[in-house]
Amino acid sequence: MRNSYQREGTSIHIWVISILAAAYVIELILLSPWWPVGGQWVATLPLTSAALQSGEIWRLLSYSLLHDTHNPFHLLFVLISLAYIGGDLVPRLGTKRFLTVLVATILGGGLTWTVVHWGHGDTYFGAGAGVIGLFTILALLEPQREMRFMFLPMVFNARQILWVLLVVDLFCFVLYEILGAFAPIDFSPSAHLGSMAIGWLYCNFIHVHPGWTRFAQLARPAWLGGRPTTTKAAPRPSNARRDPQPLGPEVDRILDKINHQGFGALTAQEKKTLDEAKNRLNQAVKRVP
């Protein structure tokens, strides 16, 4: 007898983890003494400004597939972080959007690093920028989410951790990448800052306002040929019923926030929106004969 339910497929973040782990094994094989030409193939993947000047634009993404073969702990941190962050973001964003924002944060981190290191002859690789970008999105969507660390007896929320990461990256960016101080570890805060910026843009202009509606609300200035904003609309009869703005998507977002963070995390405007939706529902019920 066949099962009456459809088997659930593997989540996209598990596929990403598997690809990064497989890429690391392939990297170890190619760089081993038993594969003399393997190093030449690996050399076509990391990010360098010289390679981009030669038109090798695939490096803006391929750099995330490589990790330090002498330090597997960085890859281990990336994989554990992806498992934790992806397990929460994939159900919220969906497979396609999660993969899109992951690629966008990797691309944003690579572009930012390239601008800072243009012409310096440096090399950058690793998926750390993508992880930082995904965590930025998680922290902005769930700022009160509690997080614990094995080596610390304290509990932090996602917003606090994001602020710490931002301050540390900004400080290290100025100290190591702008002033040129010696960095004790291989650290590229510019890539982290670029991926954070992509995460912030996503949360503020796409996730909360689907379809870039915030940009649609921006009017072009009059000195650029835009329409004057002072023109008043024709008066509307006082007895005409106004069509209320649809609240469905916004209510769904607020209910999702309550489910993850609790009612106390709502802002005053969000509580007002829920009250308005409740009043509309009551009015619709009363009109039913």
CATH of the domain at 90: 1.20.1540.10
Q: What is the pLDDT of residue 145?
A: 84
Residue where one domain finishes, among candidates 191, 213, 235: 213
In this prediction, residue 170 carries a pLDDT of 95
Judge whether 239 lies within some domain: no
Domain residues for the domain of 252 are 246-289
Report, as an integer, the average pLDDT of 190-213. 84
Q: What are phi and psi of 155, to 5 degrees?
A: -115, 130
Distances (CA, A) of 117 to 2, 49, 121, 124: 58, 7, 8, 10
pLDDT at 216 > cutoff 80 = no
262 and 158 in one domain?
no
Query: Taking Cα atoms as reference points, which of 113, 98, 94, 253 lies closest to residue 191?
Result: 113
Q: Is residue 179 part of a domain?
A: yes
Distance CA 75, CA 21 (A): 8
Q: Read off the pTM.
A: 0.70
Q: State residue 193's pLDDT score.
A: 96
- In the numeric block, the tokens 């969906």 are attached to 94
Q: Tell me the Ramachandran region of residue 94: left when phi exceeds 0, alpha when psi lies from -120 to 50, beta otherwise.
A: left
Structural domains counted in the chain:
2
DSSP letter string, 164-220: HHHHHHHHHIIIIIIS-PPPSS---HHHHHHHHHHHHHHIIIIISSGGGHHHHTPPP
Work out the pLDDT band at 276, boundaries 50, 70, 90. confident
Q: Answer yes or no: is pLDDT of 152 > 90.
A: no
Q: Would 235 be classed as within a structural domain?
A: no
Q: Which of 89-98, 151-160, 199-208, 260-269 has the lowest mean pLDDT?
A: 260-269
Which comes out higher in pLDDT, residue 273 or 78?
78
Residue 27: per-residue pLDDT: 94
155 and 260 assigned to the same domain = no
Pair (149, 107) in one structural domain = yes
- Rounded to 5°, the CA angle 189-195-196 comes to 85
pLDDT at 21 over 90: yes
pLDDT at 234 over 50: no
Contacts of residue 134, Cβ cutoff 8 Å, sequence gap at least 6: 82, 85, 86, 89, 101, 102, 105, 199
For residue 272, being part of any structural domain is answered with: yes
Asked if residue 156 is part of any domain, the answer here is yes
Q: How confident is the model at residue 247 (pLDDT cuts 50, 70, 90)?
A: low
Retrieve residue 245's tokens: 């703005």
Stretch 172-192: mean pLDDT? 85
Residues 204 and 252 in one domain: no
Helix (H, G, I), strand (E, B) or coil at 277: helix
User: Of 213, 236, 263, which closes a domain?
Assistant: 213
Predicted confidence (pLDDT) per residue in 64-118, tens digit? 999 999 889 999 999 999 999 999 999 989 899 999 999 999 999 999 999 999 9
Query: Is 1 a residue whose pLDDT tops 60?
Result: no
Answer whether residue 233 shows pLDDT above 50.
Answer: no
Q: Is residue 229, in this structure, part of any structural domain at all?
A: no
- pLDDT over 90 (residue 179): no
Mean pLDDT value of segment 208-228: 51
- Once rounded to an integer, what is the mean pLDDT over residues 190-210? 89
Q: What is the pLDDT of residue 265?
A: 62
Give strand pairing partners of 149: 152
The average confidence (pLDDT) of the chain is: 81
